[in-house]
Structure 1
Amino acid sequence: MKKFLVIIMAMLFIAAGCASSGESKAKDDEETENVSGEKANEETNEETKEKTDSEESDQPEEDTEQDSTEEVDLQTLLEQIEMSAAVNPETEKVTFDFSLKNNGEKDVNLHFSSGQQYEIIVKNAKGEEVYRYSEGKSFTQAVVSEEIKPSKELTFTSSWNYDQDGERVQPGTYSAEVTVLPMKMNGQTIEAKPFQVEKAFEIPSENQAFRNVKVEGENGQYTVSGEARVFEGSFMYNVEDGHQVIVMDTPVQVSEGAPGWGEFEFTVEIAEDQLPTSGTLTLMLYEISAKDGSVTNQKFVKLETFN
């Protein structure tokens, strides 16, 4: 019996030990699971943070790449536009003819901030400004748009009568800076002045006998007016077409003789069958020298061009 009790007690101790070991293992497993869960959460949070940082760092690069693309597009457009300019001085005025030609394969749309589409600045040999196209002018403030098709041109013409503050500038060498002023091209803002040309030219001496000559009319019927400073208030004219004289030498009397400037107006009539089929009718005004009868102070005026 005593031996039986000893066996029973030994079995109870063994059972108690197993229970304690199970609880300890369960506790260890629970702690391990919690630790693993916390580590997984930390790794997930870190991955999310790294992804967010990566996206944020990538965003400025995309903006930069987009800006770069726009800049290249504008530069390409600018390179396909060719500006040319010609300065044509005459006795009484200088004419500025200039244009923008589209050498590309796509349409180009120019947007101007106002009615002023260009500027012309003329300077003398000393670099002093003697003329500015926009001075004293008013322009509409509405945006103006011009389209240039491929291989086509946008042309401009302007003139200046050599006047500065009511007096004619001195003859000599001058420079003209011609600038076309679009603010946008195909919707992209233009910061600089890419369409600018500078040309040198000579202003001639004033004609001593004729000035402010104007011609009105067409098809053989013309009215010519102007001012003349001629001896005894008389001068001559004729008309030719480059091959023959059509209107023979004809005298004209002005309102007063030299040294004053006298006004004149006369008509030129040419029969239809005498008009050229192609070429230019040119009027020549001139004086006859009182000394030797030679032709002096010639001035050539275009009446009309036929094509």
Structure 2
Amino acid sequence: MKTKTIAIVTASILAGSSLLGYVGTTWAGKQQQPSAQTKQEVKIPNVLAQKPQQEKTYSNDAFRNIGEVKLSEQYVIKGEARVFEGNYNYVVKQGSKVITKGFNTASKGGPEWGTFSQTITVPVNKLNSMQPLTVELFEVDMESGKEVRKVVVDLNGKGSVKQNDSFRGVKVVSANVQVAIKGEAQVHEGTYNYAVKQGNKVIAQGFGTASMGAPEWGQVKHTISIPKNKVFGKEALTLELFEVDMESGKAVNKLVMPIAKEARAHKEVQKPKKDKVVKNDAFRNMSEVKLSEQYVIKGEGRLFEGNYNYVVKQGSKVIAKGFGTASKGGPEWGTFSQTITVPVSKTAKKQPLTVELFEVDMESGKQVNKVVVDLNGKGKVKQNDAFRGVKVASAKLQASVKGEARVFEGTYNYAVKQGKTTIAQGYGTASIGAPEWGKLNQTISMDKSKVFGKQPLTLELFEMDMESGKATNKLVLPIR
């Protein structure tokens, strides 16, 4: 009996173990089997953003930011029209391509014949040089909206224009090439000269005036018209901008630019240098410190209507020029005080700086009664019938900087140093106080006599801590 019982229990235990093993294996299998999911692959197109092309600019000492020269063709068409309420439409085409279109009004409406004059300007970069340019004049039918009573005009003036019930006597009365430029100029009294050339041949020339004269940069916006019959062949056109030297009458600071559908690089083009920007928690976007020399010249002049001219030179190089007026005109002696500012970046260290004072003869345009002043104060200035007692009354260095400051009540301090020696110090105020960022525009004047040797200058901008009285957030900038 005991033997049977033990056998049954043993069999039960073995069976249970087998069952547990099966269940465990099955559960583990379910755990390890990944769930079936539908995978979708999303393809993202690789689109590269294209940066807009920047317009090329041309620069030298007298002109800057001069954009590419824009070339257009301008036509004037005249004739008579007998159209409903005087209204007509036009389309300029090159082959089947529409270049431009518009509408206008004759002097009278139908059934009377009215006169019209239509000016059409077409940018050359829209044209294909191989196909003729035409303009279609027509009315639009009020019911159908279709073009009716059309006449076609060849803008090159070839062939006669057929007339119809709506248009007669239509012809091209003028055809010009237009050259347009924009930019800035730093020229005497704002006056600059230009010449349009085809090879060595001058096609057009003249002068223009910037919005301001030197030493300021004035805006230039000029359009030059040239009759098309003056332009021959395929030789490229160029535009020259320049000043005329007061003494020699020669062209100086000449800037030569190509006139084409696509302006190409030119050897006189200079890329503008970007200012290096430094910052800390209190100052940011600080430009490079600009250093200038400022002189005040005083004396007496006996001049026609009190007017005199001056030219600042270093050797034969003209650094700056301008004009001024004495307190009285000749034959009386009037006093004058002339302030002259010269950027150090325009001067050479080894040559003396001089200023020439003179009158301009009304008849010949030549310089007369000239006196020369050494701006370093060396030697006496000779006097003549027009100038006497001329001297350099003051000579200073000016350091100027622009940027932004985030300082308590907008107040910051500055110190100009040469090595460890403080040349000038003071404080300034930004346009807004902290926590906002305010605009900073600081010019500091220093006596030239305080600057010695070749050791470089630095400008320190900082805040003063209210508790300790120490300089904090100091920013050190080199002065070039």
Instruction: Give the TM-score category using the shorter length.
Output: 0.3 to 0.5
Q: Which has the higher helix share?
A: 1
Q: Which has the higher contact order (CA 8 A, sep 6+)?
A: 1
